[in-house]
Structure 1
């Protein structure tokens, strides 16, 4: 199968010739191995027992074989990290090592941070622009540069198609399967997490059903900042077969360690007049298709507004999944622009902004995500409030929606269909 370039490929084009070692990190199935394989001479697959045994017995293999070298699932043999770090100390020539990992090292395993030797890049499932359904006409990087570029374009994507994309997933190896096979694969992915991935990472799952119940409750809290106590209470309510609070915390930490959970942290602005902001993360799984499978509502039900949510959140379950799809894409585009993504909510909940994209020089873009094809005055209230608070530091404001046209409102807010937003 021909390889389709990803957004991270541009970053690798810029960095890998000059950096000796780069670690591609992300959940299983996002495409790390396929991307890394495009630019190496030797591939070491540590999920292959023979190759893992050979490397563990002779760590110098990483420098003996022809380079560049890909070490896939390196976390299965953590000593490899330190051996690569030492190799970079000995020879910092660019383009020597790519390490792909779908988990941090197991608890209690100590490795050197790799700071100054190994640079980490995150890979997520396919952003919307990577799915080749429409040609983006609006650049996130362009909106961050402070010039307030013209916003134009017409999207061919309607609400049923966005719903299809939520359910198809952004996993390259899953999304193009027939519907039934895709559903079985997504279910298998979740089962494998509970039955194999967590135990392989050193986590004892004594009650898989309880973990599955907690994960389903977490999925139902998608795009909210529900407390973990609320999520725990929603897991098999009224029944005894739910994990204890301490056990649920352990599950959460390890599910995030293997990149299944991908929360958006609260934005904490520096040198800002904003006060009394919440510090709770906004909950997301690595792909909204997984959340949809866990909650168990199909396309017809989503379009009818079905789907129970955890937390007193407004909007529909489809709206939460659309926000998660948009957030997934924005995070890919922001990573390419060397920016970070957070969310904002005041403690009295009178103001909130779905996504805050901030560059290293504190330039800030505020984004609201709306499951609507028509923007109303109430949809822009929080963006205008934030503009009053931040002044020139807020370089642009945007609403991502499901409509057809990309344009700027008279108040300067960009209105952009998700399908037309790109890096």
Structure 2
């Protein structure tokens, strides 16, 4: 079995172990090169009698094509890596787990949102659980707690964080580095640019074609660059279509492809009966802010930097949502009166924690404009509103509103959190 070098423990490991205890098929889904195979292999070390099948090997892939039923025949846990490469395996797996419903039969990895692929013959409702693996979080990279979301809902306006001495340039450097393990290991911006250049070319040449047929790959490359330039902004299909010389339906289908292969994520607009003037248009963020930083590296505009930092914060929160004890969803808020809030977290009880991101080292009263509006309209339903900024202080601004350093996202401990162990 292949050995990972410089392995960083992943919080998703505990989710995989838990799912294998009671679920027949566990799928680890995520972007290419985020560490899915490495994580899956380490899980197998703790399961006696398990076997691994890697579909990037041509001979293994041919065997899966020729005899999928025999390929998946095994009494213990079987790892099938990059399972979307052989869609016929899906029905064979379904047949096996329907006849033998023991938990922990298959651990699958894939570099696309598997249930969105048209090539799959059937889904596995009630038989499978999907765990999304994102690029490394800052807490995973630096060994911090990554517990902001749980703490924010548990503590509300009382949440405070210690400064770790980071400033604006430091946060922008972290955002530009991103979280792909290979990019994190590279020590200079130039070497990371080489990684992102090859990574993007490979995605368009291989992964896009796996999901759908497109006439011109150059159109997809230009679309990715345009989306990076407006990261953190509302998704304007008509504007993108005009700039690309394509129809709006075509651009929409291309954006859906980029979502399917984990390049971008759409953050839906949030509204409630108390905020009837809200705009429903989603905003777009990159799954990894390093990719957005690479695509906009020629720009030094403050607006671009602000969008990059917002993408960084929202992607860190999205990662945390995959393992947080708090069941919550991430939205953004904007209304027709130009009030906006970058991130709105809503739990199952309808309680709200709102986040505004500022790429500055100081705070102004106007930075709380959107948060104060939501607080007036939602009252006690809004537990807290935070401005995350590039300065060092945690301060109260009254009425449940506070400022915190951006690093609070990963240095805050969840009230019930256990530290990462070496095998996770």
**Which bracket does the TM-score occupy, shorter chain normalised?**
0.7 to 0.9
In structure 2, relative to structure 1, the CA distance for the partners of 1:200 and 1:2 (3 Å cut) is: same
2:394–2:403 Cα contact (<8 Å) kept = yes
Shift of 1:136: 4.6
Matches within 5 A, 1:237-256: 242-256=245-259
Shift of 1:371: 0.8
Match of 1:29 among 33, 45, 50: 33
Moved more, 2-11 or 45-54: 2-11
In structure 2, relative to structure 1, the CA distance for the partners of 1:138 and 1:381 (3 Å cut) is: farther
Q: Give 1:350's aligned residue.
A: 338
In structure 2, relative to structure 1, the CA distance for the partners of 1:245 and 1:139 (3 Å cut) is: closer
Q: Superposition RMSD on alpha carbons, in Å? A: 2.4
Match of 1:185 among 177, 188, 195: 195
Matches within 5 A, 1:320-335: 320-335=307-322
Find the residue that maps to 1:140 and give its secondary structure.
helix
Q: Deviations over 1:3-54 (max 9, x none)?
A: 3212222323433322222212221112211112211232221222211221
Q: Give 1:370's aligned residue.
A: 358
Shift of 1:223: 0.3
Find the residue that maps to 1:119 and give its secondary structure.
strand
The yes-or-no answer on 1:217 pairing with 2:226 is: yes
Q: Give 1:228's aligned residue.
A: 237
Match of 1:59 among 55, 60, 68: 68
Q: Find the aligned partners of 1:278 and 1:44 in 2 and give their Cα distance.
A: 47
Q: Find the aligned partners of 2:71 and 2:402 in 1 and give their Cα distance.
A: 49
Shift of 1:327: 0.5
Match of 1:396 among 384, 401, 406: 384
The yes-or-no answer on 1:292 pairing with 2:293 is: yes
Find the residue that maps to 1:174 and give its secondary structure.
helix
Matches within 5 A, 1:263-278: 263-269=266-272, 272-278=273-279
Shift of 1:107: 5.6
Q: Give 2:104's aligned residue.
A: 95
Q: Deviations over 1:95-121 (max 9, x none)?
A: 332211111458643533322111112
1:334–1:357 Cα contact (<8 Å) kept = no
| TM-score, structure 2 normalization | 0.86
| TM-score, structure 1 normalization | 0.86
Q: Find the aligned partners of 2:20 and 2:153 in 1 and give their Cα distance.
A: 25
1:42–1:66 Cα contact (<8 Å) kept = no
Match of 2:131 among 121, 131, 134: 121
Q: Give 1:82's aligned residue.
A: 91
Find the residue that maps to 1:38 and give its secondary structure.
helix
Shift of 1:323: 0.4
Shift of 1:2: 4.2
Q: Find the aligned partners of 1:293 and 1:228 in 2 and give their Cα distance.
A: 23
Q: How many residues align?
A: 398
2:345–2:354 Cα contact (<8 Å) kept = yes
What are structure 1's unaligned runs of at least 5 residues? 236-241, 308-314
Q: Find the aligned partners of 1:12 and 1:407 in 2 and give their Cα distance.
A: 38
Q: Deviations over 1:272-314 (max 9, x none)?
A: 32213212110112212212222332xxx6xxxx24xxxxxxx
Q: Give 2:153's aligned residue.
A: 144
Q: Find the aligned partners of 1:181 and 1:136 in 2 and give their Cα distance.
A: 29
What are structure 2's unaligned runs of at least 5 residues? 45-49, 415-424
1:288–1:321 Cα contact (<8 Å) kept = yes
Matches within 5 A, 1:193-212: 193-206=203-216, 208-212=217-221
Shift of 1:146: 5.8
1:222–1:324 Cα contact (<8 Å) kept = yes
Shift of 1:324: 0.2
1:186–1:290 Cα contact (<8 Å) kept = yes
Q: Give 2:329's aligned residue.
A: 340
In structure 2, relative to structure 1, the CA distance for the partners of 1:16 and 1:419 (3 Å cut) is: farther
Q: Find the aligned partners of 1:327 and 1:36 in 2 and give their Cα distance.
A: 26
The yes-or-no answer on 1:164 pairing with 2:173 is: yes
The yes-or-no answer on 1:154 pairing with 2:163 is: yes
Shift of 1:316: 1.6
